[in-house]
Structure 1
Amino acid sequence: MSSQTLISVIIPIYNGSPWINQCFNSILQQQITPDVNLEVCVCNDASQDDTKQLLNYWHTVFQQSSIKLKVIDNESGTPYGVLVGYAKNKAISISEGTYLCFQDVDDIMMPNRISEQYEKAKILPQDTIIGCQFKRIPENSTNRYTEWANSLPKEKLHIQIYTSHGPTVIMPTWFCHRKVFNNVGGFSEGGKGTPEDLIFFYKHLDLGGKVFRVDQCLLTYTYHLNAATFSVQESTIWKLRLQRLELNVLSNWEKFTIWNAGKQGRRFYHSLSVQHQKKVIAMCDVDVKKVGKAYIPFDPHTRESGTPVDIVHFKDASPPFVVCVKINLTNGEFEKNLLSLHLTENIDYVLFS
């Protein structure tokens, strides 16, 4: 036993009875080698269904396969919320594994998930978050997001970090050395609606942490309206991404152009601090109805108009750019236009959409 590597599967649960059996079965069916031992660490966050009874049942089932099931209960009667990080932190607090494998109770591991990610973890630096490709159920739910997350080039996993509502490798696929969690200091417990995964991911990157994706589908990711993700407002994600962009990118630029003179570009301009609004030298677009005119910002609070911002054709615009155009929505026209300028992402432009 002393020569085995312990991997802790971390599962936060609130009213998980519809999914516990399929989730735990997928853990039971993991194809692990003799040098690996598993434990399953659960925080039962004041569930009001029969989660507790199911956990008692699975304690015996796992024990028969030499897998230890550890459970810590929030017995206050009031759930603190799995999304805000409380339950993840609590589950990790009772874990002992060298590696942490994150799993949502409504998702299903493929039989080779842990073995594939563990093999990569052994050869990658210990400060690496390792994700994987996934499939959604029901099929055809969030197609664009799934395709983007599964196909984003690996060299862009730490670059294209302002284009989605979450990290470039989704939280339920994370596998990492315990040092990653310790270095970041745990998940935010900031309250309901806090995007704790994105906050953790940004801090991980700020500390020099690395990101890797195993290019195999190792997880079935369930899409349903009761998922905790839906409690996070889009405006909260926008604000978090903007704050990091201003701190880590725009503060190093003397001036820049906003690529998109439409709704998203204007929203971005108004979201900027005054300091960074002053750095905007133009907006660029392809719409002939906009090019050659100017956007005049208007502050509804002061009822005053701001300094006009010229709108130019993208071919006449000066980098660096903050690109406020959603990718893969124009039949490749936007991507072709961007490619024609021979720019380098993260130096000459940043995608923010």
Structure 2
Amino acid sequence: MPEVSVIMSVYNADNYNILVNSVNSILNQSFKDFEFIICDDGSSNKETRKFLKMISDLDPRIKVIGYDQNRGLAYSRNQCINVCRGNYIAFQDDDDISEPNRLEEEVAFLNSHQQYAFVGTIANVFNKDGIWGKFRTPEQPTKKDFLWNSPFLNPSMMFRTSILKKIGGFRVNKETRRAEDYDLFFRLYAKGYKGYNIQTVLFNYRINIENEKNKKYRPMKDRISEAKIRYKGFKMLHLGIGSIPYVVKPVIIGLIPNRIFYTIRKNRYK
């Protein structure tokens, strides 16, 4: 059995180089004892299936699964989790890049810190032009760190498989479709599990910020869904009446004019 199961969800990939670079960042890890499960989340284009067939031939540790109808990231990741055999489960998004020592560092941390159920990292923020910012996360997140945003970078995370399966993986419904990670971390902390963020850049997180100058990266319906997730999550964590302004935060931000929002979002990663 492998020590680590790396999971990736893919939907309508349209750039083979971006996809294969992300895959290779896992295949080229200094830590070698892993399986790599990639789920085709009901892609409607033929290119994705062709790409995944090519990728599956790169390494015997790669296993491609899938289905015909798009179900969303939470459902797709759960399908991967169901077939994982490793003691740990690591996430990887299909357009991001893991540093070569990411898995090694995260495994070493969880092996030596039994009090933590999962671990993540800070990251470089990049696009087609290169690195343009930093994604910072608190080292030892507390419940109050959930108020402004999720205190974890989801695709950089590694979990103890037993715990991830014990809580049932991701919750799948319309409400969590764009906030499945936030919801997952709320439920973990509500059950008494804790996470940690290694304060070393072990991940490269793609944000194409220039696409957001004239268009919000999230529609209002997703912001309303996040507000619902926040309300339930803050209630689970017993954060009290002081959390109410943070419930409506995503809706208020959605009302900010595009250009102003673009500047705020860009400066966040400086």
Instruction: Please tell me the TM-score bracket, short chain as reference.
Output: 0.7 to 0.9
Secondary structure at the aligned position of 2:145 is classed as: coil
Counterpart pick for 1:58 among 42, 55, 58 = 55
Q: SS where residue 116 of structure 1 aligns?
A: helix
TM-score, normalised to structure 2, is 0.77
Q: Corresponding residue for 1:162?
A: 147
- Give the whole-Å Cα distance in 1 for the aligned partners of 2:38 and 2:156: 17
Letter in 2 for 1:56: K
Q: Deviations over 1:119-172 (max 9, x none)?
A: 10101226512000101113676x5xx45x34x3x24444311101xx211110
Q: Aligned partner of 2:153: which letter?
A: I
Which residue does the alignment assign to 2:160?
177
User: Match of 2:189?
Assistant: 205
Q: Secondary structure at the match of 2:227?
A: helix
- Shift in Å at residue 70 of structure 1? 1.2
SS in 1 for 2:3: strand
Aligned counterpart, 2:19: 20
Query: What is the DSSP-based 3-state SS (H/G/I as helix, E as strand, rest coil) of the residue aligned with 2:51?
Result: helix
Task: Quote the offset at 1:79 in angstroms.
Answer: 0.9
One-letter amino acid of the counterpart of residue 58, structure 1? I
When you count helix as a share of all residues, which structure comes out higher? 2
Note the C-alpha offset of 1:212.
0.5
2:90 pairs with 1:101: yes
Partner Cα distance (2:243, 2:184) in 1: 30
Q: Does 1:69 align with 2:65?
A: no
Does the 8 Å contact 2:5/2:86 carry over to 1?
yes
The residue matched to 1:61 in structure 2 has which SS? coil
Count of aligned pairs: 238
Query: Are the equivalent residues in 2 in contact too, given 1:11–1:102 (CA < 8 A)?
Result: yes
SS state at 2:33 partner: strand
Letter in 2 for 1:39: E
Q: Deviations over 1:175-215 (max 9, x none)?
A: 01102211221101103744111111100001100110111
Aligned partners of 1:248, 1:41: CA distance in 2, in Å?
A: 32
TM-score w.r.t. length of structure 1: 0.60
In 1, distance between residues paired with 2:122 and 2:222? 25
Amino acid at match of 1:30: Q
The partner residue of 1:131 within 93, 99, 120 is: 120
Query: Which residue number corresponds to residue 255 of structure 2?
Result: none
- Which residue of the partner structure matches residue 110 of structure 2? 121
Aligned-residue CA RMSD (Å): 3.0
Write the distance in 1 (CA, Å) between the matches of 2:205 and 2:243.
Answer: 37
1:159 partner SS: helix
Which residue, out of 20, 32, 35, partners 1:39?
A: 35
Contact 2:189 2:237 in 1 (8 A): no
Displacement of 1:100 after TM fit?
0.3
Distance 1:52 1:133, change over 3 A: same
Distance of aligned partners of 1:250 and 1:53 in 2 relative to their CA distance in 1, 3 Å threshold? closer
Identity across the alignment (%): 22
SS class of match (1:53): helix
Computing the radius of gyration over CA atoms, which structure comes out larger, 1 or 2?
Answer: 1
- State whether residues 56 and 64 of structure 2, in contact with CA within 8 Å, keep that contact through their aligned partners in structure 1: no
Partner of 1:214: 198
**Pair 130,158 (structure 1): closer, same or farther in 2 beyond 3 Å:** farther
CA contact (8 A) 2:190 2:236 kept: no
Question: For 1:170 and 1:250, how far apart are their aligned partners in 2?
Answer: 22
Q: Is 1:6–2:3 an aligned residue pair? A: yes
Look up the SS of the partner of 1:212 in the other structure.
strand
* Structure 2 CA distance for aligned equivalents of residues 178 and 185 of structure 1: 11
Q: Is the 8 A contact 1:126 1:179 kept in 2?
A: no
1:241 aligns with 230
Which structure 1 segments of 5+ residues have no match? 259-263, 272-325, 330-353
Does the 8 Å contact 2:120/2:198 carry over to 1? yes
Q: Distance in 2 between matches of 1:250 and 1:201?
A: 15
Q: 1:230 to 1:91 in 2, by over 3 A?
A: farther
Relative distance call for 1:57 and 1:194 in structure 2 (3 A) is closer
CA contact (8 A) 1:158 1:210 kept: no
The answer on whether the counterparts of 1:127 and 1:179 sit within 8 Å (CA) in structure 2 is: no
Counterpart secondary structure, 2:34: strand
